[in-house]
Chain A
Amino acid sequence: MVLLVTSDNEQFQTEKDIVERSVLIKNMLEDVGESDQPIPLPNVSSSVLKKVTQPSTGPTEIDVRGRYLSTASTTVESPSRPPILEQSQDETRKRTTDISEWDQKFITVDQEMLFEIILAANYLDIKSLLCRRWLQDGSQHDQGARPPEEIRKLFNIVNDFTPEEEAQIKKENEWAEDR
């Protein structure tokens, strides 16, 4: 077990194999060696650390986390492994269908929480978490994909295309449209 201390001075007992997914902590543990001293994480708050490290064992756990989720639904079939434990896979091959319901709930957080998680993952150097798809699954749309206008709205992106460019891009990628 490893003791972690967050920016808001909360202490966490965490299993070694979970925290070692973080390259930062792994290096730290290697440098310091076995020790009872707590590891300070001045850039990570307790609410974020919970989200990033704690294993989820069943629906109740999800409900506890539910306070961080904007759409905390009640019954979720959850895998027992937290995202931090997942092996980073061949990212390019990973497709929409591979994303479990738990993952989908995980990424259904408000944007501010999302910022915090990404910052934490970047600081702790957790690749598997950084690569998690926070772009929401488009399956809720009948047509499959989320339309570009909605992506712009969601991430506050300005459309910097000229109308000609837009038409040209649509034509260029026509082969990839499912018909």
Chain B
Amino acid sequence: MLTRRAAKQRNSIATWLPNEILTAVMSHASRPDLVALCRTSRLFRNLATRLLYRIVALQTAAQLKAFLRTIESKRSQIAALRLSDHVRRFAIRDSKCTANLPKRTAESFTSVLLQLHNLESLDLLFNSKVDLTETLNRAHFKNLSEFRYTVQFEDHPSLSFFLNRHPTITRLTLHPEFEAQNQVSLDTIHLPHLTFYDGPSSFVPFFDKSTTSGVTFVCILFLPESPNRDDLDMALMRLAPMTALHTFAAFTMLDDIPESLLLESAARNIPWIEFAMLQSVRHNPAPISRADARAIAKSLQKLPSLRFLALEVDGVEHKDFETVAFWSRACRNLTLVTLRTSNKLDAQARAVDE
């Protein structure tokens, strides 16, 4: 119990506050602040180090090398509680981080990852250069709940092996690095707690029933390799076992998938969704034509639970608001429609109107 007398007796706030409170306060500090706190005094160092090493997000190869050196230093290895034990989240934030690493650094990277026993989130999406097959084969993070990874063609067996050894995973992001998507072959993946999946639809058939049935959020990436309409329908057909699906997000890198086609396929395969977000990185996004608007309205009639729809279109013109009103009549629960557009296009559309 804190008393006023105790506070007055000692003149430094840091000497009479309980460590729990100092830690709680420090947990609001930014990374540069934590670095400074570590250098303030022994007490502050003991408290701040723990927090500083909780989240390790690296931007540059120099940072990565410095981190590896610290974890592998003799001092860190013999300390009663090793620095590597504090790490809860580890992320590579830039592809430059692991590009062109010397062989020895790459080796020490894979072995340091294995030491981070208490990881809850591992983000290796930006690594496509270092071969992590060995890490996937040997790692066991007992509390891992989020895993983000760029899949290389040759590590398929290790990937299934890794995922099946981590049933605690709830959020999974897999991006393909290889060219031919159809050649995927994974072992059956069993992740009973999975709720979030972001990746190609071609992996979904390898999820077993208990994995797919819990997924509530899915984000599917359509690459230029799957251009035609049958492929599109096939991709969404694979999502049909996701009976708890709440949000469907699609990200296309194609010039020619009209949103109406995506929605039509969604209405056929996953009609229970409540949120739909369709985004594309097209070079020349087209405005919604009358035919498209009618086709979308037709699909909306078959999506009775849909409450929110976000589309990317070229320029928001006056007639688009009429279109939205038209859609909301087609779908009873639809309460919010977002038409995303860049400001520049918006301005152009207005100029044409005037």
Contacts and interface: CB of A to CB of B under 8 A. Distances in A.
Contacts of B21: 118, 122, 130
Nearest to B20: A130
Interface in B303-346: none
B30 A92 contact: no
A145 to B, nearest CB: 3
Interface in A105-143: 111, 114-115, 118-119, 122-123, 130-135, 138, 143
Given A92-B51, A155-B14, A133 B40 contact: no
Given A114-B13, A119-B2, A94 B28 contact: yes
**Residue among B35, B40, B62 with the highest chain A CB neighbour number at 10 A:** B40
Contact of B52 (A130, A144, A176): A176
Report the interface size class on chain A.
Answer: 35 or more
Contacts of B102: none
B138 interface: no
Interface stretch (B65-73, B152-160, B178-186, B206-214): B65-73
Interface string A136-179: 00100001111110011001111111000010111111111111
Contact of B44 (A138, A143, A144, A157): A157
A46 B322 CA distance: 58
B58 interface: yes
A99 interface: yes
Contacts of A80: none
Given A173-B52, A175-B63, A145 B33 contact: yes
Interface residues of B, number: 50
28 contacts: A91-B24, A95-B28, A118-B2, A122-B1, A122-B21, A123-B2, A132-B25, A133-B25, A138-B32, A151-B36, A155-B12, A159-B41, A161-B41, A166-B39, A169-B38, A169-B39, A169-B45, A170-B39, A173-B38, A174-B66, A174-B70, A175-B66, A176-B52, A176-B63, A177-B32, A177-B35, A179-B60, A179-B63
Given A146-B33, A172-B75, 5 more contacts: A118-B2, A133-B25, A176-B32, A178-B31, A179-B60
Top 7 closest A-B pairs, CB basis? A145-B32, A133-B28, A175-B67, A156-B12, A175-B66, A96-B30, A148-B39
